[in-house]
Amino acid sequence: MSFQKKAHLNIPKVAIIGLGLIGCSWVKALRSTKSVEQISGFDRNMDSMEQALQAGLIDDFSIDVCDVVRDADLVIISVPILAVGDVLEQIKSSIGDHTILTDVGSVKGNISKAVTAVLGEDFDRFVLGHPIAGSERSGVSAADEHLFKNHKIILTPEKRTSEVALDLVSDAWEVTGGKVELMTVQHHDEVLAATSHLPHLLAYSLVDTLANDEENNDIFNYAAGGFRDFTRIASSSPIMWRDIFVGNKDEVLKALDLFTADLQQLREVVANEDKTQMMGTFTRAKAARDHFTKILARRAYVDSMTSQIVNYVAKPGGKLSGEFRVPGDKSISHRSIMLGSLAEGTTEVTGFLEGEDSLATLQSFRDMGVVIEGPHRGRVTVHGVGLHGLKTPPNALYLGNSGTSMRLLSGLMSAQNFDVEMTGDASLSKRPMNRVADPLRAMGAIIDSAENGRPPLKIKGRETITGGQSLKGIHYVLPMASAQVKSCLLLAGLYAEGETTVIEPAPTRDHTERMLKGFGYPVEVDGPKVTVRPGGKLIATAIDVPSDISSAAFFMVAASIAKDSDITLQHVGINPTRVGVINILRQMGANIEMFNQKEVGGEPVADLRIRSAQLKGIQIPEDQVPLAIDEFPAIFIAAACAEGTTVLTGAEELRVKESDRIQAMVDGLQILGVDAVGTEDGAIIKGFGSEGSFNGGEVDSVDDHRIAMSFTIASLRANAAILVKDCANVGTSFPGFVELANGCGINVSNEAG
């Protein structure tokens, strides 16, 4: 919960007790925002009071703390934690009937106890607070009215705290630019012990150790950035920190014990020159440090949309030219991490897609103890742990926007010996998971979900299931053509007793089967039937990820519809189970040439040359639907530019992708003036043909990456600009889309919303 900033705040009198950095900065901010009429100050130190008066931070002071408290509407107690009880004793008799009090200390539990001891259990006008801001500098001269801007201010109201008191203190913080958040006292003290108190203890300890070293002059002379960065906080006020460690002893000791055990382990790792374990610790820590704010919130390291709003503005017209490569295939990238982790040995991946979805998979495996180096320019090194080497993750696996991660991992997680929870963002949380949970349950998995089979999914480990039995193989006829469900069951089948056979109603992408074979694991494919048996192992290999045909599709359509265009897309994956978009566009009259065909790591690739062509409307063959399942948003744009009507049927799956893609596309097309209607399992789109164009307008991507990119390329044939809203999720599959699009002739810019 966070509070709305008040437009104006008017507190007649504030009393500030303790003229240190935090208290002085707060009153300075209150003064500069004209939120208070009179500020009276008290400090044990006369100099500080005079200095604060001279600096205009306070209007008056007194050597008797009771004088400043009398008549005050708000009393700010900003003294070392262990002194709060004494201060309360001294001012107790001067606190007015309506006076509200607050503090700024780093520990809340012991202040709460002091309030109870001195003012009584029912005292409801003391608001416990803690601004997460500061500096190693202290005193009146360090006061900074901007110190709290955009910093978190934690308030820990208790049952007894009155709402009026909480509101006033929240408002008094909000005017400083701070962001108020509420927490319980206990949670605050636990979190702060780990994130603030422990690091201060370590900094003091390290500097003290080095300073006691006989060679200390040399150490301090030659200590560069590392020493400075790590120990800056050892210059903080010793009294303040002494009090914090006493005040929060229990929580600090817990954090310290955990750290000591890990440090001892790391000592062993260094002593043994265990390079893999070192890389494990360092890469996990680097990923964590790079994204530490999300970690503090217990969120994914790779998070999408909600953190920033991004809109695209696409100017009308343009033609495409150039020869370029789109990022790596998403499906193959996911699988390279999964199978690389389960393999024995070290797998080198090149061309890995550094998009949020595949990074979510990567992070999940790191969370399960796999050492993964990179990604760095598409290179990833996965130190496989074998089929039985995954470890319990410390938290729920957060899979962002990625349905593939959640569905494939469901199969794998059902066979592990630890419990796992998997969560995702708002879009993933709405997607159906029973399609994987039902057959997995039939194999013996125990899976809980939210209503109607939606995430989060909680999967029980085999050890916790009676007797730790393994899964049973299954003979499963897929009710829908889904590579995700097929792959999920095959992964579970690696661990199940007996045979697992999946029969698909129509061919779907077969990257899992191909890659399993690439890792040396036997897979039997017999027409629509795929079978795996347990007992095999995966041997590490090298994987060269081709460019993603699903990303290439936007440029295939773009170059086809924009007059005078001619582009070449390099190294595109043309797996026969993925080429529906090429087949459909060619049937519509597109000019797509394929050359340099070869096979890399079991996957066929080619360069594709696409030149403008007048497209015509077609009835899309249903057998092409699973082969082009992700490309329909782009194909809808092609259909709008075609001569005649395009009819899509048999594509009800589109309604349960990252968004309802039929609805999202039809809505957007209609806004841009196209005659399009959605049907239960597809759409009917009347093309405007060679002389027509899209109107300009504002369309909503509904946070779906492929909808966002599709409407962006529509601008090539628009008569005015198109604003595409909420495009941040393009990063899930196509990092660098805007730059690449501009580079080849699409005039699109990224605007923060």
- Residue ranges binding ligand S3P (CB under 6 A): 331, 404, 482-484, 487, 508-509, 629-630, 653
Of 22 and 338, the one with the shorter C-beta distance to ligand S3P is 338
Q: Count other C-beta atoms under 10 Å from residue 153's C-beta.
A: 26
CA torsion through residues 242, 244, 250, 252, sign: negative
User: What minimum distance in Å lies between the beta carbon of 513 and ligand S3P?
Assistant: 11
**Which position among 171, 544, 630, 660 bears the catalytic label?**
630
Largest CA distance in the chain: 91
CB atoms within 10 A of CB 725: 17
How much is the CA Rg of the chain, to the nearest whole Å? 31
Judged by phi (left if over 0) then psi (alpha if -120 to 50, else beta), residue 429 lies in alpha
Q: What are the structure tokens assigned to 678, written together?
A: 């959605």
* Alpha-carbon gap, residue 650 to 481, rounded angstroms: 11
| CB nearer ligand S3P, residue 234 or residue 481 | 481
From residue 472, alpha-carbon distances to 176, 413, 486, 488, 745 in Å are: 61, 14, 16, 14, 54
Tokens of 205: 């300890």
**Closer residue to ligand S3P, CB minimum distance, 358 or 531:** 358
Which pairing describes strands 152-155 and 179-182: parallel, antiparallel, or unpaired? parallel
**Considering beta carbons, is residue 248 or 341 the nearer one to ligand S3P?**
341
Closer to ligand S3P by CB, 449 or 484: give it. Answer: 484
Nearer to ligand S3P, 284 or 407 (CB): 407
Cα within 13 Å of Cα(743), Cβ side: 12
Helix (H, G, I), strand (E, B) or coil at 202: helix
Cα-Cα-Cα-Cα torsion 429, 431, 436, 441, nearest 10 degrees, comes to: 50
Backbone phi, then psi, for 676, in 5-degree steps? -135, 140
C-beta atoms surrounding 500 within 10 Å: 27
The nearest distance, CB 551 to ligand S3P, in angstroms, is: 11
Q: How far is CA 131 from CA 29, 134, 160, 261, 324, in A?
A: 13, 8, 21, 31, 50
Least separation in angstroms between CB 331 and ligand S3P? 3
Closer to ligand S3P by CB, 196 or 729: give it: 729
CB of 653 to ligand S3P, least distance (A): 6
Copy the structure tokens of residue 662: 């039929």
Q: How far is the CB of 371 from ligand S3P (least distance, A)?
A: 24
Which CB sits closer to ligand S3P, 544 or 630? 630
Closer Cβ to ligand S3P, 94 or 547, answer by number? 547
The CB-of-79 to ligand S3P minimum distance in angstroms stands at: 58
Query: Which of these, 678, 685, 589, lies nearest to 637 by C-alpha position?
Result: 685
The answer to whether 512 touches 412, Cβ cutoff 8 Å, is: no
Active site residue 630: yes
Rounded alpha-carbon distances, angstroms, from residue 349 to 116, 145, 379, 432: 60, 50, 6, 31
The residue with its CB nearest to ligand S3P is: 331
Residues 647/654, Cβ–Cβ less than 8 Å:
no
Residue 539: Cβ-neighbour burial (10 angstroms; 0-12, 13-18, 19+): middle
Q: How far is CA 72 from CA 38, 41, 76, 89, 222, in A?
A: 9, 11, 10, 17, 52
Active-site amino acid positions = 630
